[in-house]
Amino acid sequence: MHTLYLASQSYSRHMLLRQAGISFETIEHEADEHVHDWNASLYDIVRELAASKMEHVQLPDHDGDVFYVLTADTLSVDQHGNKHGKPVDYTDAVEKIQALRDGSTVSTGFCVRKYARANGQWTVQDEHSGVVSAETRFYVPDNWIDAYLMHQPHALSANGAIAIEGYGSQFLQRVHGSYTTIVGLPLFEVRTALE
């Protein structure tokens, strides 16, 4: 079995892969996630960010190995057309929760590359990428926000401060589309790409 390297520190992405029985190791990337055109479509932004992360991964140094690298990015757009990423602090997280609770579209872009290394040179042998979107209504009433963020501290580093799994599941009113896309990684499409 070849190694899968995940270029993400996301709690939710780690959780999804572990629950699916997909073993992985974490690597870093040096992409600037804040450099993108916010006027572009949600689809284009997450696709470009996933691709940019792939171009900036810190690949391991193992000659003779064949391995896979996975990158991803998730963003939301609220009912007023405003785009949301990770909150910058607690206050921003509260504002995002309030802005997104009337309903949002969530898009996750991903990229999977198959690499080989020989004689100190990297070779890309295959690549698959995609964007998967879903609609959701995640409604956390004002009087529950503090408790939600206390029980879901990883929401402070999640797209739109949305963490629909675990404690957060009680605030999930509806999902139309891929549940795992909202969590942060479209597992069906990623598994297919890896196959």
Select which of 44, 63, 73, 146 is catalytic. Answer: 73
Give yes or no for a contact between 133 and 105, defined as CB atoms under 8 angstroms apart: yes
Alpha carbons 75 and 59: distance in angstroms, whole number: 25
73 is catalytic: yes
Nearest residue to 73 (alpha-carbon basis) of 51, 101, 98, 95: 51
Nearest residue to 95 (alpha-carbon basis) of 103, 85, 87, 104: 87
Alpha carbons 184 and 13: distance in angstroms, whole number: 6
Which two tokens mark 18? 């572990």
Angle, alpha carbons 23-27-31 (nearest 5°) = 135
Residues annotated as catalytic are 73
